Amino acid sequence: MAAGIGQTGPGQNGNESKMKFRANKFLGLAIGERSILAAEVSRVEDRNQVTHAAEFVYPESAGLQQPEALGAALGEFLKREGFSAKAAVFGIPARWVLSKIKEVPPIGAAMAAEMLRLQAEADFSPELKDLVYDYAGELRTGEVRSVLLMATPRRHVDQARTIAEAAHLNLSAVLPTASALASVTMPVAKNALVLSFTSSAVEFTARHDGGTSALRHLGVSSSTGTVLAGEARRAVMQLPSNGTGGSNGSSLNGNSRGDVFLWDDVGVDPSVQKAVGEALGVTVKRGEFRTLGAGELPAGRSGYAAAASLALAGLSQEAPAVDFLHSRLAPPKQPRVKQEVVLAIAAGVVVLLGIAGAYIDLQGKEKKLAASQADLRGQETRIKDAHAEVDTIAYAQAWHAGKPQFLACFRDLELALLTPDDGQTYITNFTLHEIIKPPPAGGKASVLPKAEWSGVLSGKSANNKDVVSLSDRIKINKRFSEVKNSYAGGASRAGSEVSFSITFKYSPE
């Protein structure tokens, strides 16, 4: 459950309303590029049961760019298929969501919300206008905690509102579908990696200590096992290191893997599951619908775990971990003030500004006088410092020569690394140091000796052969010299991963 801090503005009232007047039947709608997965879950006494499940394929005349027409078509479809729930939770794809891990210090609730709001506006690309922010994670008093800051363009939330209104549905929440599916996986494993295969996409979610720590789009469901395995491995490698091993005592890049679950709504080929497991070094477990807490699917239906998880989020007594419709990071609404009070405050402000202006003017003149006197006393020191700065700049200018010299090294290494790309060799560390040589005796400061650099590439590969191939591609470029390979633990065994280092010297001339 997301921590309830900073619930100001529409977020607070919306969440409280859902807690007090919650329906006993919810519709989960997982939005895709070409269709919507729908599942209706009802609460009967103390248990939940999915009563209807179906896929709504967008008609040729209406798509996401025509939300009103799409909503009208969706309403007709739901009625035709026997759906009766009016309360709905919409799920959006992970590819529509930007995310970033943030550490929150042990500060007050209002201050924490304001800090996250300001960081979101600063961190996400300014080219993406009008974003809606929220976060997943639990904040605890007196403890530094990590949360996953998320953002999505407001137009996607507006699309969900328009579709729901046209379909005559009561929109309860808008959240990432993968986040909802990972949340219902938590009772099985609090630390887990979750892969969701739907007709539209393959999505990756990481959970740590019961909270979402990563959300990522891996590709389309028709991608090959090799491609998805590589993307899954990269996603795990980018997780923040927590220094603990997984359930089998091993980890990637210091990350706890825990259990790996695969939710299959499209009929994934077993070879894809095997490839992902081999890439992560664990056995991938298939998620079973009965573990979601929504009973059994109607006869003849399969999949629909993603849609059912959204309906369960609506039925839950707790607010969703992330809800862009009721964002906890929405700017607080300013209370309305009567016009007479505003005029009185304005008049008072004008008088105070006049008094303050006169005082500030006097203080400013006194400061200018003191500064001028200090400036006269400091002229000799400034002249000496200026001469030293001129000498430093003259020496530094000789290193620029139109472009930084080390960029040529980066360019040549990139050509060697990318041609060809075997998909099995990864660079984990790169260092580059200047080989300092003293200027010629008696020469000018702007005349420099020939530039040279020493560097080290460290990484991992499937075998020694690929490392040797990479080394040979580097040697082809005559700017590199003294290229040498070394391996951690000696030669690699068949099927094992080898750690390597390549040292070299580089001269751009």
Omega of the bond prior to 420 within 30 degrees of 0, cis? yes
- pLDDT computed for residue 2 by the predictor: 36
- pLDDT computed for residue 163 by the predictor: 94
Domains of the chain: 10-190+289-315 (3.30.420.380), 406-506 (3.30.70.60)
- Phi, then psi, of 388 in degrees rounded to 5: -65, -40
Tokens coding 338: 């009567």
How far is the C-alpha of 421 from the C-alpha of 87, rounded, in Å?
Answer: 50
Q: What would the pLDDT profile of 29-61 be if each residue is shown by its tens digit? A: 999 888 999 999 998 888 898 999 999 999 988
Residue ranges of the chain whose pLDDT lies below 50? 1-21, 243-250, 253-254, 256
Instruction: Please list, in sequence order, all residues whose beta carbon lies within 8 angstroms of the beta carbon of residue 147, skipping any fewer than 6 positions away.
Output: 101, 102, 104, 116, 135, 136, 137, 139, 211
Q: Within a 10 A sphere around the Cβ of 127, how many other Cβ atoms?
A: 5
> DSSP E strands: which ranges in 209-360?
211-219, 251-252, 255-256, 259-264, 285-286
Tokens coding 506: 């580089």
User: Is-contact 215 179, C-beta < 8 A?
Assistant: yes
In this prediction the pTM is 0.59
How far is the C-alpha of 184 from the C-alpha of 194, rounded, in Å?
Answer: 11
User: Is-contact 322 134, C-beta < 8 A?
Assistant: yes
Which residue pairs from 416-421 have beta carbons closer than 8 angstroms and sit at least 24 positions apart in sequence?
A: 416/470, 416/473, 416/474, 416/476, 416/477, 417/470, 419/473
Tokens coding 434: 């200047």
